[in-house]
């Protein structure tokens, strides 16, 4: 199991970072303090979760590697404890339960493992469930240690519940587990019911107490984000609620056991267009073949007939585990297959063990030879590993892109006035979203307030479509926020940024003078008049930028010198632009968008080095269609006819002819 997880999920662990709700977690803890972290989780509906996160931040800080490793270790221990627990009940199926646990460890449903800070709570709670059940079984097995095992198990049960409610339904798995475990000791139905309830009672009391507190007594600073809508429907329209519950069950059963595997069989899975693609396919093959070779002999020795009853029981356990695992999501009317929730696969976490058990049962049902069964299982695990590698690689690239772009933010805008709204046409990062990007930017710049008001916000322009554009362009107060954090600003106090993904350009910080840039979108162009670059300062505050959170990218790059030159040009430091060019010219082969020559052209024009300016202008116009009006405006704003020396006149006239314009006469 450890080897399978290492090959499929651990390979990129040192190249992963922070995503989605990781950024609010980091911001509230690092920028606002422990009290803000606790309040954040209370806003999210889990008032006690924040204490755990505060403790973890004390241990791990903002080390992405530490968080990633911790999340993976928790996942591994959860799968391991699931196996140890189930084999206590069915020792004759230890190998098959082990196969199910391996499948559970890499099951291709939950794709958000790299969002480590956010999901360490989930894996901790999941682990608490199985560790608590395991201790419950040990207490029965070792009566002399019943009390310490039970006390510890009850404590772990309570801890898992108060951290997050996702796995509350799995607490009820104790009943079928005890029922099957006590079958030999208590053959009578009534005696077995009594023994099952007696052993489960301490844990059921904890679960009941949690449910009562969660439903009736919990105190939150805002309305509950996860109301039990299905419970209310059950009270008002019981038949409709029952039918809806059945619909959820069959819908998610198919999604977990059948259609969830479709993505692992996509033809693109086997497309080899990069070294990572090759590794992904190779990892799947190596894992599948390796499992088969390691397990074919012990599986061959397994007695066939003596375990049929146990397998029927495991089938029941798989169905119960899947249904009870998904029950909390159903109660708030959420499913793993909902079409409008790209992150809804998290609701499938608690059902993955049940799905894995059912898949193994299906394999044993459709094949009658152990070698064939093991081969089918090995193929599925191999496919799951290939899928995991590809999914995690997407997060790796997202983090790489974040570090590139956030580094450019800090190079181009070392300081930024508070209450600045940063806007762009589109979001730049996969596995993120606009509000995580806003929290990330607030981590990169210092906060000037002790309140929950934040100094900066980021928004894609799509967020402004609900009001007339003219209202925004004339200056309108806006408020953004998430959880307890809020931002107040004005649409006159914005900085417009852009990134041409098609050209793989550097980050562009745009102002009104960029209106004729042929590479920006028309919607972006409309906002340029509001882009106030005077809000940018050349010096950063002490202890900033936070390169301990986002690793600074290499300064030996075109984008570094472009950003520093663009910043110098903004402040008319033309000598600095000229100095930067001496090194920047060595990285021209990295440039993809030739309008990025603009600050250097401006610099040479103001330094009266017209030959260099002409050369760069000709390079830009030769590589950029419809750049002539843009270049013409740059030249006209910096040079008049009278300022052109006689020896430069011919080459400047030739350029003007190419651009289709003329320099302006000298001002009177």
Residue 343: pLDDT above 90? no
Measured in residues, the chain has a length of 668
271 neighbors 278 (Cβ within 8 angstroms): no
Residues 16-38 pLDDT 10s: 999 999 999 999 999 999 999 99
Structural domain boundaries, residue 273: 2-397
Confidence at residue 187, expressed as pLDDT on a 0 to 100 scale: 77
Predicted local distance difference test score (pLDDT) of residue 50: 94
Query: Does the pLDDT value for residue 313 go beyond 70?
Result: yes
Would you say 103 and 79 are in contact if contact means Cβ atoms under 8 Å apart? no
Please, where are the H alpha helices in 413-543?
Answer: 434-444, 469-473, 522-527
Shared domain check, 278 and 196: yes
480-506 pLDDT tens trace: 989 999 999 998 999 999 988 878 899
What is the pLDDT at residue 642?
Answer: 59
What number is the average pLDDT over the span 367-381?
A: 91
pLDDT score, position 465: 64
The arithmetic mean of pLDDT across residues 293-321, rounded, is 80
The two structure tokens encoding residue 288? 């599948």
Tell me if 407 is assigned to some domain.
Answer: no
Q: In this structure, are 319 and 440 located in the same domain?
A: no
Domain termination residue (choose one: 339, 367, 397) = 397
> What confidence tier does 457 reach under pLDDT thresholds 50, 70, 90?
very high
Pair 164, 146 in one domain: yes
Least reliable range by pLDDT among 156-160, 168-172, 542-546, 583-587: 542-546
CB hemisphere CA count around 206 (13 angstroms): 24
Average pLDDT for 68-79: 97
Count of domains for the chain? 3
Residue 632 in this model has a pLDDT that exceeds 70: yes
User: 243-279 pLDDT, tens per residue?
Assistant: 999 999 999 999 999 988 988 887 777 778 889 989 9
508 shares a domain with 560: no
Model confidence at 593: pLDDT above 90: yes
Neighbours of 303 (CB within 10 A): 7
Structure confidence at residue 662 (pLDDT): 85
Give the per-residue pLDDT at 193.
92
What pLDDT is stored for residue 71 in this prediction?
97
In this predicted structure, what is the pLDDT of residue 467? 59
The DSSP annotation for 179-215 comes to: HHHTTTT--SHHHHHHHHHHHHHHHHHHHHHHHHIII
Q: Using one digit for the tens of pLDDT, what is the confidence trace for 92-151?
A: 888 889 999 999 999 999 999 999 999 999 999 999 999 999 999 999 999 999 999 999
Taking each helix axis from N to C end, the angle separating 174-181 and 116-141, rounded to the nearest 10 degrees, works out to: 30
Residue 524 lies in a domain: yes
pLDDT in the model for residue 476: 86
Mean pLDDT of 617-639: 90
List, for residues 384-397, the tens digit of each pLDDT value.
Answer: 999 999 999 999 99
Rg (CA), the chain: 31
Q: What's the pLDDT at 227?
A: 85
Query: Is residue 402 in some structural domain?
Result: no
Decide if 179 is inside a domain: yes
| 663 lies in some domain | yes
Residues 487 and 587 in one domain: no
Same domain, 249 and 389: yes
Residue 513 or residue 269, greater confidence: 513
Q: pLDDT (tens digit, 9 = 90+) per residue, 180-236? A: 998 878 778 889 999 999 999 999 999 999 999 988 888 888 888 888 888 888 889
- Work out whether strand 456-460 and strand 494-498 pair parallel, antiparallel, or are unpaired: unpaired
Helix (H), strand (E), coil (C) string for 36-75: HHHHHHHHCCCCCHHHHHHHHHHHHCCCHHHHHHHHHHHH
In a domain, 405, yes or no: no
324-335 pLDDT, tens per residue?
Answer: 999 999 998 888
Do both 562 and 541 map to the same domain? Answer: no
Task: Report residue 545 as tokens.
Answer: 């930028």
| Model pLDDT, residue 341 | 58
Q: Is the pLDDT of residue 174 over 80?
A: yes
Residues 485 and 611 in one domain: no
pLDDT score for 53:
96
The CA-based angle 566-571-574, given to 5 degrees, is 75
Mean pLDDT of 534-542: 92
222, 264: one domain: yes
Nearest to residue 456, comparing CAs of 440, 474, 432? Answer: 440
CA dihedral 254, 258, 260, 263 (to 10 degrees): -140
What confidence score (pLDDT) does residue 242 get?
92
**What pLDDT is stored for residue 650 in this prediction?**
84
DSSP 293-354: HHHHHHHHTS-SGGGHHHHHHHHHHHHHHHHHHHHHHHHTT--TT-TT-TTGGGGGGGGHHH
User: How far, in Å, are 54, 171, 206, 546 from residue 414 at the CA level?
Assistant: 29, 51, 52, 11
Task: Give me the numbers of helices (H) and strands (E) for the chain, helices first please.
Answer: 25, 8
Token readout for 486 is 């809020």
CA dist., res. 102 & res. 365, Å (int): 19
Does the structure show a pLDDT above 70 at 667? no
Query: Are 541 and 567 in the same domain?
Result: no
> In degrees to the nearest 10, what's the CA dihedral of 450, 455, 461, 464?
60
Last residue of a domain, one of 397, 423, 440: 397
Same domain, 322 and 460: no
543: left (phi over 0), alpha (psi -120 to 50) or beta: left
| pLDDT band at residue 442 using 50, 70 and 90 as cut-offs | very high
* CA distances for 96 relative to 311, 357, 655, angstroms: 10, 9, 77
Respond yes or no on whether the N-terminal peptide bond of residue 545 is cis (omega within 30° of 0). Answer: yes
3-state DSSP assignment of residue 479: strand
Confidence of residue 663 (pLDDT cuts 50, 70, 90): confident
Give the C-alpha separation, 155 to 487, whole Å.
41
Q: Is residue 88 part of a domain?
A: yes
Q: How confident is the model at residue 342 (pLDDT cuts 50, 70, 90)?
A: low
Give pLDDT tens digits for 153-163. 999 999 999 99
Phi and psi, residue 577, nearest 5°: -60, -45
Q: Are residues 522 and 560 in the same domain?
A: no
pLDDT range class, residue 310, cuts 50, 70, 90: confident
* Mean pLDDT, the chain, integer: 90
Residue of 412, 469, 473, 399 lying closest to 440 (CA atoms): 399
The stretch 439-464 carries a mean pLDDT of 90
Residue 645 lies in a domain: yes
């Amino acid at each position: 199991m450890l080897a399978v997880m290492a090959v499929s999920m651990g390979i990129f662990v040192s190249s992963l970072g922070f995503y989605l709700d990781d950024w609010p977690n980091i911001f509230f803890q690092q920028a606002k303090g422990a009290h803000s972290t606790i309040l954040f989780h209370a806003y999210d509906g889990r008032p006690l979760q924040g204490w755990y996160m505060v403790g973890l931040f004390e241990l791990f800080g903002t080390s992405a590697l530490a968080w990633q490793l911790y999340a993976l270790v928790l996942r591994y221990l959860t799968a391991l404890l699931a196996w140890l627990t189930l084999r206590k009940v069915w020792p004759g199926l230890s190998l098959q339960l082990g196969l199910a646990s391996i499948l559970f460890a890499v099951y291709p449903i939950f794709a958000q493992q790299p969002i480590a800070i956010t999901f360490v709570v989930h894996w901790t709670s999941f682990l608490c469930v199985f560790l608590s059940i395991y201790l419950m079984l040990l207490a029965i097995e070792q009566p002399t240690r019943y009390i310490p095992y039970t006390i510890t198990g009850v404590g772990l049960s309570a801890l898992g519940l108060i951290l997050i409610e996702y796995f509350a339904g799995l607490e009820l798995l104790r009943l079928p587990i005890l029922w099957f475990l006590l079958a030999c000791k208590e053959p009578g139905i009534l005696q077995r019911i009594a023994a099952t309830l007696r052993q489960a009672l301490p844990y059921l009391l904890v679960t009941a107490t949690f449910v009562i507190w969660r439903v009736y007594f919990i105190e939150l600073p805002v309305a509950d984000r996860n109301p039990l809508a299905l419970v209310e429907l059950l009270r008002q329209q019981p038949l409709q609620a029952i039918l809806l519950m059945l619909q959820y069950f069959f819908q998610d059963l198919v999604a977990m056991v059948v259609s969830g595997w479709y993505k692992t069989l996509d033809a693109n899975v086997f497309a080899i267009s990069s070294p990572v693609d090759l590794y992904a396919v190779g990892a799947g093959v190596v894992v599948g073949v390796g499992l088969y070779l390691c397990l074919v002999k012990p599986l061959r020795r397994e007695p066939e007939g003596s375990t049929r009853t146990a397998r029927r029981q495991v089938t029941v356990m798989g169905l119960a585990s899947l249904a009870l695992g998904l029950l909390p999501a159903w109660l708030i009317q959420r499913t793993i297959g909902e079409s409008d929730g790209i992150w809804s696969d998290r609701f499938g976490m608690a059902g993955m063990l049940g799905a894995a058990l059912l898949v193994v049962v299906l394999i044993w049902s459709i094949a009658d030879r152990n070698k064939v069964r093991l081969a089918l299982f090995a193929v599925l695990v191999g496919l799951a590993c290939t899928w995991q590698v590809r999914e995690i690689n997407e997060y790796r690239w997202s983090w790489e892109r974040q570090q590139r772009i956030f580094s450019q933010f800090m190079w181009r805008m070392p300081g930024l006035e508070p209450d600045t709204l940063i806007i762009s046409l589109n979001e730049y990062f996969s596995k993120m979203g606009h509000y995580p990007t806003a929290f990330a930017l607030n981590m990169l710049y210092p906060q000037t307030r002790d309140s929950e008001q934040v100094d900066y916000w980021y928004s894609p322009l799509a967020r402004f479509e609900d009001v007339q554009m003219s209202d925004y362009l004339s200056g309108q107060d806006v408020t953004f926020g998430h959880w307890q954090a809020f931002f107040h600003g004005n649409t006159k106090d914005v900085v417009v940024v852009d990134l041409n993904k098609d050209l793989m350009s550097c980050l562009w910080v745009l102002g009104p003078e960029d209106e004729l840039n042929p590479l920006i979108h028309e919607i972006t162009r409309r906002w340029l008049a509001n882009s106030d670059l005077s809000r940018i300062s050349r010096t950063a505050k002490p202890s900033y930028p936070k390169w301990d959170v986002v690793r600074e990218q290499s300064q030996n790059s075109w984008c570094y010198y472009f950003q520093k030159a663009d910043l110098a040009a903004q402040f008319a430091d033309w000598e600095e632009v000229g100095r930067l060019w001496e090194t920047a010219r060595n990285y021209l082969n990295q440039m993809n968008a030739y309008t990025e020559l603009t600050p250097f052209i401006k610099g040479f024009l103001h330094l009266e080095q017209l030959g260099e300016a002409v050369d760069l202008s000709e390079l830009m116009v030769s590589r950029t269609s419809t750049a002539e009006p843009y270049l013409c405006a740059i030249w006209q704003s910096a040079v008049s006819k009278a300022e052109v020396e006689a020896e430069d006149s011919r080459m400047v006239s030739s350029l003007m002819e190419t651009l289709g314009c003329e320099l302006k006469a000298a001002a009177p």
